[in-house]
Structure 1
Amino acid sequence: MTDFNALGLAEPLLRALADEGYTTPTPIQAQAIPLVLQGRDLLGIAQTGTGKTAAFALPLLHHLAARRAQAPRGGCRALILSPTRELASQIHDNIRAYGRHMGLSSTVVFGGVGARPQIQALARGVDILVATPGRLLDHVQAGVARLQTVEVLVLDEADQMLDRGFWPAIRRLTGMMSKNRQTLFFSATMPAEIAKIANELLQDPAKVSVTPVASTAERVEQRLIHIDASRKRVLLAEMLRDPAIGRALVFARTKHGADRVAKHLVAEGINAHAIHGDRSQGQRERALAEFRNGRAPILVATDIASRGIDVDGVTHVFQFDLPDTPEAYVHRIGRTARAGASGEAVAFCAPDELVKLKAVEKLIAMRIPAEDRRSEAARAEAATAAPKPAPRGRGGRPQGAGRPQGQGPGRRQGAGRGGMPQRGAMPEGKDRSWRNADFRDGGR
């Protein structure tokens, strides 16, 4: 099996890895690092928890150390863009740990905190800048930051960066950079439509994909509970009292929902915090700190926490609400069973979430073991609401199964020419709520 010594990394990096106790690269690291060291643009896809940060941080540090240059005033030599504050902070911590013996400078820039220290750090110039797009664009527009000297650009969680409203800011930022830069995209998923956008920024990229998006953590035991929406909070509190639960993440669909769940748990005597985009940076940091140290071992989160927050010892993940996109289910349960441990993932499904459940099970290609805790009234209502087979017409076709009126071949209702949605139409399954979601606030 390959070890880090065989990848061609500089000795100070190998020493730092030894300090951290790392000896064997993960598959994404083993495949991506040699390509990045060759100077190739890269599109790297791997599940959360597989070591993507080191896959770009190590060759990036190697490159900057090999080509010693003074950090440009008001600028940086390498830029790493992240969708959330927490992930940006975590990446910066890793950069400092891996580069501890290399003498390279770095700083992190995001919103929710005072801008003066960031302005001062940028004025001096840094080798590596980790930033959220919105706050960085603010600094650029204020004349505090310049990006013409960027040699390497990294987009971490690239699908979120390009699909959650960040694309206009990223397009403006990349337009200020040299065309000769090296560009690296790393993500857990890369839908086809997002890959098209990525191709605008990548030049003849190498591609590394080590884990299919539909796979779930092998050591995660998955459970599904059919439950009335009104009974979810009571059941959650009951389950969280189990002594076998050490540290648990609870995912809610909305910020207000996360607050309501956390408030209910606290009222039930369970130490819990909520974390989402409406919380101040100080509140978010305190919540994560108490989650990590065990003082409040239950963290109720929106999907801001489904990627990038690396907390050891998460024994359970509860999906209080099923996610709007089935891929998010995979990312959420990836918060447990990390570093060789096992974990359990429990999903609650109310009657109005059955469509989301079907989408999840189709993606992961398995039926999640389920139990039914709905009330008798809810079960009876579900039974009567079950669709009945349509009466069959000639040739066995359902009656009324002809082409919808006014709809030609290959055209969907509400679609324009070429089958594309009409202007202002929302494709089925899309949710505009991201415009006010946590990812937007993470950009500043």
Structure 2
Amino acid sequence: MFKKVLIANRGEIAVRVARACRELDVRSVAVYSTPDRDSAVVRLADEAIRIGPAAPAKSYLNAAAVLEAAAQSGADAIHPGYGFLSESPDFADACLAQGITLIGPPASVMARLGDKTSARALMRGAGLPLLPGSVEALDPHAAEDLARRIGFPVIVKAAAGGGGRGMTVVDDADRFADEYRRTQSTAQMLFGDGRVYVEKYLPKARHVEVQVLCDGHGNAVHLGERDCTVQRRHQKLVEETPAPALPEGLAERMGRSAVEGALAVGYTGVGTFEFLLAPDGSFYFMEVNCRIQVEHPVTEMVTGVDLVQQQLKVAAGNELELSQADIGLRGVAIECRINAEDPAAGFVPAPGPVERLVVPGGPFVRVDTHVRQGDVIPPHYDSLLAKLVVWAPRREEAIARMLRALDEFEVSGPGIKTTRTFLAEVLSHPRFRTAEHSTSLVDDLLSGKL
């Protein structure tokens, strides 16, 4: 096992990693920007090193500063969390060059799966089902010809995209050329890579993902599926496991497909295979996330497996402690992301000082947060304040427990707004309660269609 792990992140995921390290008797090193100097992970970690000012490009995205902090502290591994440098092959290569273990898949695997067109080609070769579309970037004329052949609506996606950004749904041929070029420009601006590809768009689909765990010895398991259908602009708001109302046997088929895909590319660590589920029960591969996911707690709640500890053990060279037969799913878990955003103003960020914070409690309620009363939520980073997670034996009981917990959750201060009441509205809607919702649920609610 590692002696010292540097946590190259902030917020609740940094706290989560620090706690896992403490339980494994591994020393942890926090890095922080100037506005995060009094943050929770700085208080929890064994050491803390300032790496730059507020701007992410000068702190958490500054690979040289992170590596310098690792060298200064004597860390033998880096946990990147999610976001920031977590899926950067260049950073993975830089860690390797300095003799530091990056907790994640090898750089070569990360590069092949991080490029969405490459990932589609790899998974097609592994036998996973794909939506009709391209497995390479196309020029606008070839892309329009393909879109006409597979039929509108289609979605144009950035090859180097992620986090729900760099995607445009096109409903008809008249708009295609302009939207394709606009998405290319957006992809270039966001990711420094203007390549985009075309895929058939399913307007009434569900978003279901599978958690995998692989070691470096050829062993791999899946830990069930998560339903991430409740989204706004491709950003997840609510996640649950198991995915409700799936046809018999479908979850296991998706799990096997994910494991086969992971083994085909030599994946190691935790990863998430994302699928679209069509109304007729067919499923299609979308992408692989080469990191721990924001929504990992729901999987932990139903399996009893600490995914972050498993990340650390596998990265240290250990063989998997679990076989597929060891993994059982019990009950239902739901996660709501509490963001510092104002739903009444188009979900604009609403940071500020936290004058009052009351987190819910009671049986089977988990709150992952980095915020305490008196903290100031800075405007420079992601707006996630907390992840509220509940467990219950049955789905209707889990929904009731989540609604109760949301009602107890209080965050207030000058300028602060949260998504708490909006999330309660989503969970209370008949379409969600009966598991008849699709990825359009939130947009339909906001537009007044429901």
TM-score (norm 2): 0.29
More strand by share: 2
TM-score (norm 1): 0.29
Question: Which structure has the larger Rg?
Answer: 1
- Choose between structure 1 and 2 for higher RCO, CA contacts under 8 A separated by at least 6 residues: 1
More helix by share: 1
